[in-house]
Amino acid sequence: MDLMDVIGPVMIGPSSSHTAGAVRLGLLAASILGEKPVKAKIELHGSFAQTYRGHGTDLALLAGLMGWLPDDARIPEAGTFAEKNGLEYSFTKVNLGELAHPNTVRFKLEGENGAVCQVTGSSIGGGQVSVTEIDDFPVELSGRLPGVLVLHRDQCGVIALVSGQLAEACINIAGMRVFRTGKGGLAIMIIECDQKVAPDTLEKITHLMAVESVRFINNVL
C-alpha cells in the first residue's frame, strides 16, 4: 500500500472514481493507441453511464485522451478544448453485462496517423484503474508502471527473445502476462517495467521473430 491508497489522488473533483480514475483511463487508452486521438467513440457502462454528466466523467475521459493529468484545472472545459484540438467524440450508453465493473468505459479510437484500437477499462476506486481488454484480447493493466505491449504469433521462443532485448537494454521486468486467442494463434504480451523503454529497444523488439507490433504504454499513476 502506498500513500495514495490512503489519502487518494490529487485531482479536480468531485469523485476519485468518476473523475481521477476516468482521466487515467483516457490517458492509458491514448497511450495504447500510440498517437494523438482524433476520433473517439466512448461507450459508458453502469454507474458511468448513469452519472457521467453530473460527475464530470465525460470531461475527465476527454481530458485523459488529450494527455491532461487528474489535477489539471482545465478539466471542466475539456469539451471545448477537445473541439479546438480536433478531437471528434461521441458518448453512448452500453450494457457490457453483469460481470463488468459498474465504472467501465470502452474506447474506440482513431489516431492522427491512422492507428485504431479498442480499449475497455474500469475505474476501481480511489483513482485506481484497470484495463481489461485491448482489441478483443482480455488483459490486466493497472497503469502503475511503464509497459510494453507486444502483439505476436503464439510461437515457441518469442517471450525469451523479447525479454532478452529488455535485459540487453538493462530494463528490469516487474511483471509479465501473456494472453492468446488459442494455441498457435495471435497472442498479446504485456510487460510492466521499472524503467521507460527507449525507442531503439522497441524498434529491435519489433523486428523479432513472430512479432506483429509493439507499443510502449506510459504509466499514469
Instruction: Quote the CATH superfamily of domain 147-217.
Output: ACT domain (3.30.70.260)
Residue 209: phi and psi, rounded to 5, are -50, 130
The tens digit of pLDDT for each residue in 24-61 reads 999 999 999 999 999 999 999 999 999 888 888 999 99
Q: Is 84 exposed, middle or buried (0-12, 13-18, 19+ CB in 10 A)?
A: exposed
Q: Is 67 exposed, middle or buried (0-12, 13-18, 19+ CB in 10 A)?
A: middle
Average pLDDT, the chain: 91
| Residue 5: band (very low, low, confident or very high) from pLDDT cuts 50, 70, 90 | very low
CA distance 69 to 9: 11
Q: Which among 81, 47, 75 is positioned nearest to 61, based on CA atoms?
A: 75
The region that residue 185 occupies, defined by phi over 0 for left and psi between -120 and 50 for alpha, beta otherwise, is beta
pLDDT at 6: 37
Helices 199-206 and 158-168 cross at an angle (nearest 10°) of 160
- The matching CATH number, chosen from 3.30.1370.100, 3.40.50.920, 2.40.160.60, 3.30.1330.90, for 3-135 is 3.30.1330.90
Q: Where in the chain is the domain with CATH 3.30.70.260?
A: 147-217
* Window from 27-31, 114-118, 151-155, 177-181 with minimum mean pLDDT: 177-181
| Residue 16: band (very low, low, confident or very high) from pLDDT cuts 50, 70, 90 | low
pLDDT over 70 (residue 15): no
